[in-house]
Amino acid sequence: MAQRAAIVTGASSGIGLAIARMLGEEGYALTIAARREEKLAAAAEELRAAGCEVQHVAGVLSEEDAVQGVVAAHRERYGRLDVLVNNAGVGIGAPVAEIQTKRLDMQLDVNLRATILFYRECVELLRAAGGEHRGALVVNTSSISGKRGQPWLSVYSATKAGVIAFTEAMNKELAADGVKSCALCPAFVDTPMTDFAKAGGVPAEDMIRVEDVAEAVRMLLRLSPACIVPEIVFERPGETV
């Protein structure tokens, strides 16, 4: 059995892939999940080439079956779960009068509902790890939009605010069992998700790097069991309020 194991969703690119790489460096055996099989398989190969132990499970995580499939595959292969990273996410902008129900549901389902379902499906494994070493960790990728609602990204903002509230609730419910949670709240990070902002004139080099976010998660791994960091906010110069 692996000494330490982690699930990272949305790990086929961007922030999730950087966190998976960091966890691999730290010796965690990995299950990575995302929607598109081919892209995810390439990410798994890249991680393997870097020396990580990794399996990949593709699935549309707005679907309960897919969430259960990822957790079942993880349990089957590794038998333990020390770190869960709920990172898969989608943002679709629209002014309020033009919000399409299908896109509203997709953002709620991927960003918020899947996070909740992953907690439910993983809590037994997380509690077992927490009982063993008091340092089981759940990292939920929220957003700066979850802290301060953004026009046009109103639905996305609401889902990410929900992630922060759920994270807080989970700390109150699970921290005594050795399972700590943290919501990451970044401003623009240089990933495929911000191609629209780059096209709109925000240079990639002025954005937060995925490695910055992964380093913050590495810090969380090092904390004593007595210390909870409920959220980490990543600002950019000029974007702070």
User: Active-site residue numbers?
Assistant: 156
SS3 85: strand
- Provide, rounded to whole angstroms, the least separation between the CB of residue 225 and ligand NAP: 27
Binds ligand NAP by CB under 6 A, chosen from 22, 54, 62, 118: 62
Cα–Cα distance, 156 to 107 (Å, whole number): 6
Binds ligand NAP by CB under 6 A, chosen from 41, 42, 90, 116: 90
Nearer to ligand NAP, 6 or 129 (CB): 6
Told to check if 39 binds ligand NAP by CB under 6 A, we report yes
Residues 124-163 that bind ligand NAP (CB under 6 A): 141, 143
- Provide, rounded to whole angstroms, the least separation between the CB of residue 24 and ligand NAP: 16
CB-count burial class (<10 Å; 0-12, 13-18, 19+) for 237: exposed
**C-alpha distance from residue 205 to each of 142, 190, 208, 210 (Å):** 22, 8, 8, 12
Confirm if 187 and 195 have CB atoms less than 8 A apart. no
Told to check if 89 binds ligand NAP by CB under 6 A, we report yes
Binds ligand NAP by CB under 6 A, chosen from 192, 196, 219, 225: 192
Cα–Cα distance, 167 to 139 (Å, whole number): 9
